[in-house]
Each structure stands twice: as structure tokens, then as C-alpha cells.
Structure 1
């Protein structure tokens, strides 16, 4: 059994790393860097944090014989954020690890970091030690000499993963898009994905093999977006949350929508009622209209502010007593304070046919 004390070396400065575009493990003042033992590591250019303890990989350059350097006992690497020199974490890599010998070392980010982690990082070498057997066989001082460890790529762009959703419907006024954008939050427990406000979302139509942006919108504080695009043709669409300093881009699945039907769209109006009671008696009755149109891809909710007439039956026939506008969900309500029979009528427009609900009596 061999006993040894931990060999401590100092960290190579970030400024030096940026000049040299690589990082070499430092050594005590009386030590030498053993160039005969050179280990080349490659950090990932990008890391997308999508889960707690997100996995990433550091590659180890192999010899022409396909072997990772056996002169190394261990190396400790760290990620230091450039803008404020904050250390995200450090990882010890032992040469005895199977993944080191295979040339790709699996590491993972801290599960719950104590600061917002997005940013540009420099991969640094904090400590490195020679293999005892290699040092003995090659005339190196195991206790004070250090291997030369170089990062072929030392800059890592770390951001959160994003998740975009899209709902697409054909309405009489065009294609209606709605959805949300969320991003991973490593400080959050459950849910781990939180609303991403201010995210730019590109609404894209496929032309041949290319996605062409037709409109760009911004999510609100709840991470939601909506838009209407006038497009009457059949087509395949998707929404893409654009990359930002905090998160990477993400595209939804594609959805194909049928072309707009020729002529005016057919409509339908549903009616429901809910009574208000006082001392067991009905004092008011609220009627709610649910308006939808079929513009060629099935019935969908009427656009906001669609006109709805409220009519009451009289001895001379139906009389319009009020006018309402639909909400974003295609609904409109009227509260009656007197008994009678009521219905809703949606007038004909240049885009849609007239539609009338069933009648309800109170």
C-alpha cells in the first residue's frame, strides 16, 4: 500500500488562459512541468441545463494507439464565470476511471447552485498529479513535478434549456397561434421549468425544407404568447423560442393546418344559463353564448369582439334587447332580470354566415 500526501498546486489565472487559449496545471516554485506527460482536454462549447445535476462531458485526447495518457494520476478542473469570476463547481477526474480511459469523462453540474448559472465560463485546471509508476519510470519527481494539462477548448457557454408549446387553429380572421415558453430553473424544486417572460417567439411556416419566420411575438409575464396571421393556404407551422442570454432556443413540433374554406364560414352558437337565487326564488338568470366558426379546419372559438345580439321573444316576434362582444374564448354573457324566453344571434358578416342559438325560457 502506498501512502502520499495531497499534492497542492495553484490555479492558473483566467487572464493567462485567455492569452494562451489553453490552461496548464501550475506547480510549486521548485517544481517542473513535465511536458513528456501532456494531457489534452476538450470542454463542451455549450451546456444546456435541463435538469438537476445536468450531465456534461469533457473529452480526453488519445494517442495514435487509441489510449488516454497513462502518465496522469488525477486532475481537478473547474468552471469559472468570466464576468464575475464565480466558480460554478470543480470536479476531480481520476485516470483510473473507465470513462477517462475511454476518452470521454462524464461530469454533472451542481444540483442546486447558489447563483443564477447562465453565462460564459472558462474551464480551468486547479490541480494535477503524475502517476507514481510513470514518474518513477521516466525520471520525474512524483511529489513535486506536475503534468502539463491543456484545454483545447476552454470556453463554455452555459444556459438554461427552454421548452416552447404551440396551439394552432384556423379562424375566420386567419391562423390563431397561442402557447407558452418556459425554461429550466436550477434553484427551483418542482416544477423545475418556470415561465420565461420577455422571450421572443418566431412563428414559422415551412417552405420546401426551410422554415420561414412570418411573425415574431414576445411572451408576457406568465410566459404566454398569442398572435393571428392572415394566411388562407394549407401549410405546416411551428413556433421557435429564440435563444437569449438566459436560455437556449427551442422549437415546437410541426403542425399542418387545412386551407381556408371558400365562401363564408358556417357558425354555431351554444347557449347555457345559470340562475341567481334569493330566498329560494330566482331573481336573475345569466345566459352565456359560446360562438364558434368553421373556416375549413373544424369549429374553433370566434375571434374576440365578435358581435352577438341578445333577443327576447315578444308578442310580435323576436326583439333585440342588447348587444354583446365575445371574449378571447368566444363567449358572451347577458344577465336577464325579467322572466321570458331568450336567444343569441350572430349577424352575417363578410367572413361568416349568420348563426342563431337555441332558445331558453325563465
Structure 2
């Protein structure tokens, strides 16, 4: 009896027709699908940003949504949460940061990520010229949280605020049409992000403490004679109200500087930026107004108040005569970037030259 002929295993697809995954901005997803997904994320994740973003012209509005989707998704992955909800487990935080970096790298390469928010980022990065260095500046903030980092000094606080908001402001400036070499305008965009984050820190101190986090410089707490980990105890509410005032004073300085940059934008983009500045400024000022009671419940700006702030922004955008601040911010993007580069968690690729901004001797 003849022995049956042995058949060699065959590949499911002949090697001659195998193809590498083609690189396409957005990972191959349709642009309108990515925009719809991004809108759902911003609508549920941040009512303030959603309201302000709708004032943009169509091109800037869609690109702002695409960028927001990535920022929100990175934040959720890093904290193990969903659309800014309750923080998840700290275990595995480093692996989650690695995943963010890898997915972002694929997004820049135009490869599918299996995550619409990262594909959205790849699309907007290609459209407006965002760079891996810009993205790494943002991811650096998640890295600090993963390490359980706390600021010791004001310059530490400045660095953190840059990572989580100032760097996003720089990317938003690219969406606004600001050139990569326009250091002054990028500084003003960074100022707006710093202002937003300072307002957030002042408002969220109780939530942060409940999650075991604190973004108040240890030096400030020591000046108020507040013991580590005791900052939100009832007997320290007066001191924390004073610290919130200190944060909001800095917020207002950065806010005023950012308004100078907004004056150079087209009307619709200027209006949206000023509306966001008004809303976040109102949050910070309401925290100060409530004093020690500011953390009894989360400070929010209601719909009617937001509508008034947006209407005021329309008038400010039309008039377009921002007041010169009494002084420009002490923290400059150039100073902060020196700290960022010196403390980079991984050796970065070519970062390019630092912006042509005066470097103060505080960092010598």
C-alpha cells in the first residue's frame, strides 16, 4: 500500500502577497468617525471645554476635539479611570505609561492603534504638525503621577503645570495656526494652559487629597505649618484657603498674559480662547470667594453663568483691547523647559532649540 504523501503546511497567505500595514494618518479610520468619537469624549469629559470649543470655526473646532480625545484617553489610561471618574488602582501605573507611549508612537507613524482616541491624535498631529517631543512633554506629567511625585518648590509646581496643561496649550496653538518658531505666541498659549491648571489645582485639592495626591509645593505647606498629609483636615482650612488665593493670584497673572496672545488670533478663535479663559478664571475666583468652604462641595460654574461668560468673551473678542498686565508671569516657558529637559524621565530624541525666552537666574 502506498504511503500517503505528506503535505507541507501552507501559510494562510502566500508570502509573496503579504503586505505591511499601510501607514495612514488616523490609523485608517474615517475622519468623520474620529471627529464624532472625539466629540462624545469632550461632551462627557469636560463641559467647560465643550462649551468653549463650539465657538471655534469648523476646522479648529474639529482639531481641538481630536486633540482633547487623546489627552482625555491618556489621562484615563494613566489613572485607570473612565472619562475623569474615580481613580483606579495605582498598581501597574508604570506599565500604563509605557502603553501610552507605545500607542502614541504608533499614532505618529499612522499605524492602527485599536483605540480611536490615539488614532484621532495621529490624524490631528499630521494635519497641524504636532511632534513626538510635544506629546512627550504631556506624557511626562502622567509619568510624574505614576511615580507618586510631589512638588517641593514653586518651580516644581511650574514644571508639573507645564506637563499637564501648558504643553497642551502649545499644541492648541499649532491648531490655532501659530508657527513653531513663534516663541512669543507659544509662550502665551502655555500661559493659558498654566492658568487652567492652577485653577484646577485650587478647586480639586480635596479630591486630590482623597486620592493620596497633593500638588501644593511642600515649601508652601511648611510656611503655613501644615503637616504632610494633613492639608485638608478641618483645622487647616483657613491656611489652605490662603494657599488657594496664592494659586489663583498666579492664575490671574498667566491669564492676563494669555489674553495678549489671544488678541492676535482671528475673531472666532479669539472668542473661544477668551471664553475658556473666562470660565476657568471664574472657577479659580469662586474658590477664593468661598474661602475655607470651597471644598465642602466641588466648585462648578452653572449654565447661566457660563452663558454670561461666553457673551462677555464675545464682547472682549470684538473690542480686542486686552489690558497689559501689571507684570508678566514669573514662570516662563523657557525657564520651565530647562527644568523639563533636565528632569526628562527618558533620554528624549532631538528636542530642538529652547525658545528664545529670557532665562531667569532662579534656575542657575
TM-score, structure 2 normalization: 0.22
User: Larger helix proportion, structure 1 or 2?
Assistant: 2
Larger RCO: 1 or 2 (CA < 8 Å, sep 6+): 2
TM-score, structure 1 normalization: 0.22
